[in-house]
Amino acid sequence: MLYAQTTPAQKRRALREKLASGELVRMPGAFNPLSARLIERKGFDGVYISGAVISADLGLPDIGLTTLTEVAGRGQQIARMTELPAIIDADTGFGEPMNVARTIQTLEDAGLAGTHVEDQVNPKRCGHLDGKQVVDDDTALKRIRAAVDARRDPNFLIMARTDIRAVEGLDAAIDRAKALVDAGADAIFPEAMTGLAEFEAVASAVGVPVLANMTEFGKSDLFTVDQLRDAGVQIVIWPVSLLRMAMGAAGRALDTLNEDGHLTGRLGEMQHRADLYDLLDYESYNHFDQNVFNFQIER
């Protein structure tokens, strides 16, 4: 009923404990609060909130156009609707080190369990596109140090994402990842790895949890959870998958409306009203008003 019963502090602690145990954490990307609740219902370990998805939801490309206010607001809406820990994409931290510090505290206040800050220059671009540029070592490390210094809850997970693999190669990615860990990063997000061996090389080098981004149509093959676990990965995200599935289904439905004038033939593909009301926990709202859920829905 209403929002999650688990506090942000409890979610952060639970995520830390799972990572410390060596378990692999599966985090599909939520494109709205309702999808976060579905991720929880289906038994996943956490929720990921993608900057690309937030941008797309606003009809914008993923090139750093969103603001901290927009990202934190959406993050809060999603995080408060699930008992699971939620990690959010903070892009380059929304500015210089002082801005990065403010970003961390704002995301803490929004109830997130963690975030990642990357080493691209502004304007940034999707990590699986060509033509990326990264900042120098000093700037990258200052961003992470600022994030760590600003953190008030020691369990808030600060990940460092590096996009340098696509620019300077794997050795450079490993060197930067190690430096980012020395700067205080709790985990490493090596973007656009080209194979399992590269994930394994990074995981072996850094000694902290490594995140694998299994985004479709990108630079990385779509490995299974078991393959990634064997390579030493501890966090797996599918950042845009649910949005892609939902938009694909929406496009097909609109085509059917154009062609047939109705959607009768697609009812079996829809979430039933009864399932939606169950996911929303409609019945529990009778605690306030017995007239809220005084009906039955025929399947």
- Residue spans per domain, the chain: 8-239, 247-287
Higher confidence at residue 30 or residue 121?
Answer: 30
Active-site residue list: 48, 62, 89, 91, 116, 118, 126, 161, 191, 213
Entry pTM: 0.95
Q: Which residue has the tokens 């995981």?
A: 203
For residue range 228-252, what is the model confidence (pLDDT) as tens digits?
999 999 999 999 999 999 999 999 9
What would the mean pLDDT of 75-89 be, rounded to a whole number? Answer: 98
Q: State yes or no: pLDDT of 128 exceeds 90.
A: no
For residue range 260-275, what is the model confidence (pLDDT) as tens digits?
999 999 999 999 999 9
Q: CB count, 10 Å around CB of 234?
A: 20
Q: State yes or no: pLDDT of 294 exceeds 90.
A: no
Query: E-assigned strands of 32-112?
Result: 47-49, 86-89
Nearest partner of 107 among 66, 56, 152, 144, judged by Cα: 152
CATH 3.20.20.60 fits 8-239, yes or no: yes
Residue 184 banded pLDDT, cuts 50, 70, 90: very high
Q: What is the mean pLDDT of the chain?
A: 95
How is residue 153 written in tokens? 């809850």
pLDDT of residue 131: 63
Q: State yes or no: pLDDT of 84 exceeds 90.
A: yes
Q: State yes or no: pLDDT of 176 exceeds 90.
A: yes
Residue 102 CB contacts under 8 Å (≥ 6 apart), including other chains = 68, 94, 150
Per cent of the chain over pLDDT 90 is 87
Helix (H) / strand (E) element for 158: namely strand 157-162
